Amino acid sequence: MSLQSELETLATFSDAPAPAVTRVVYSEPDRRARDYLKSLCRNAGLSMREDAVGNIFARRHGSDPTLPAVGTGSHIDAIPNAGAYDGTVGVLGGLEAIRILQRVGMCPRRSIELVIFCAEEPTRFGIGCFGSRLLAGALDASASMQLRDKDGRTLDDWRTAAGFHGDMAQVRLPAGYYSGFVELHIEQGPLLEQAGIPLGIVTAIAAPASLRLWIEGEGGHAGAVLMPQRRDAFCAAAEIVLAEETAAKATGACDTVATAGVCDVFPGAINSIPSRVRLELDVRDIDEARRDSVLAAIDRACAEVAARRGVTVRKETINSDPPAQCDSLVVDALCLAADRRGLGFQKMVSRAYHDSLFMSRIAPTAMLFIPCRGGVSHRPDEYAAPEDIASGAQVLADAIALLADH
């Protein structure tokens, strides 16, 4: 089976009708996708293990298995109504890179390990890069036990129902486990396509932060309660969302981005004044201090809106992570590999976050981007051309080969 048909098959494990893909961690499509990938890894002769949350590791042993391995990989979970390429290109492209090296009979000194990270997307537990955070020790086992989905069901409930029973404290990788890590991914932005350049080599990953806000006002009859008497939680939330947007635009930097992607209104009836709202806000920037200035502006807006509208606002910071700098040796290996194949590349920053944000804390890390049509991602019409995916896998293989003999 070709890499392309494997991507197509993987896309069929979904809770949404094609071309949309929805694959939330620990769901039935996630289980079927894992089984499918494990069978592909087994067919490639890789040795496999899964940890206590379901990070999957598939290893091709090097000639000196005592050396730290070179890692590659990405995620297979997909947010609701997403596409078929986010994460999956790095998983199946990573597997293809290992198979390319096997086909040419290359036996490097270091082992090469494909990682299929568990829950890069925040859909189930509200926090992104769940699996890689645990691997890197950026989230500890006891803190992860506090995670709940929106219905209050715990991580432990979910993972054990999905068949993962191991000791959470064992998930963290030992120091020096990888000598280098490279993640292949679609760009999720338009720059490569616009420039007609087939590859992006990532030198830094932007700092993400996300907040959960609970806004509490007073409900009542939509016809009977007069406007001066209202303490409408949703109107307060709307002002906070607009303050977030204003603060992000006010930095004047195109790298500052802010989104309000979740808004639950209670009780959610057309003839009832909203008494309670849950908002989830996402703020990012490659410059951490500038990102934090937007977070501070949101805090000020919450206090001002609460006082003026007579509502309460409670905040939970879900995450507030620093940016990552990629490692120059891994970047150089990617540049050399692209040059040798005669493929143009552009160095760039990643505005999206990736598991590499956390892998960079425990291993020299860089990323390889390929173009995606129109820069579109997190949508059903996400698309990457087969020739770009193939080039990505080839350059990934070449870079891994360089790193694995280093």
- Binding region for Mn ion (CB under 5 A): 86-87
- Least CB distance from residue 347 to ligand GLV, whole Å? 19
Omega within 30 of 0 (cis) for the link into 80: no
- Least CB distance from residue 114 to ligand GLV, whole Å? 20
Nearer to ligand GLV, 179 or 356 (CB): 356
Q: Which H or E run contains 117? A: strand 112-117
Distance CA 385, CA 402 (A): 26
- Least CB distance from residue 285 to ligand GLV, whole Å? 13
- Least CB distance from residue 374 to Mn ion, whole Å? 16
Residue 353, binding choice from Mn ion, ligand GLV, none, Cβ under 5 to 8 Å by partner class: ligand GLV
Residue 244, binding choice from Mn ion, ligand GLV, none, Cβ under 5 to 8 Å by partner class: none
Nearer to Mn ion, 87 or 198 (CB): 87
Exposure on the CB side of residue 376, measured as CA atoms within 13 A:
13
Nearer to ligand GLV, 201 or 352 (CB): 352
Nearer to ligand GLV, 338 or 384 (CB): 384
Distance CA 91, CA 151 (A): 30
Residue 274, binding choice from ligand GLV, Mn ion, none, Cβ under 5 to 8 Å by partner class: none
C-beta of residue 127 within 8 angstroms of C-beta of residue 133: yes
Nearer to ligand GLV, 121 or 398 (CB): 121
- Least CB distance from residue 378 to Mn ion, whole Å? 6
C-beta of residue 77 within 8 angstroms of C-beta of residue 70: no
- Least CB distance from residue 352 to ligand GLV, whole Å? 3
Nearer to ligand GLV, 244 or 398 (CB): 244
3-state secondary structure 36-78: HHHHHHHHCCCEEEECCCCCEEEEECCCCCCCCEEEEEEECCE
Distance CA 138, CA 361 (A): 9
Residue 382, binding choice from ligand GLV, Mn ion, none, Cβ under 5 to 8 Å by partner class: none
Distance CA 286, CA 257 (A): 10
Binding site residues, ligand GLV, CB under 6 A: 121, 128, 352-353
Backbone angles phi, psi at 121, to 5 degrees: -85, 150
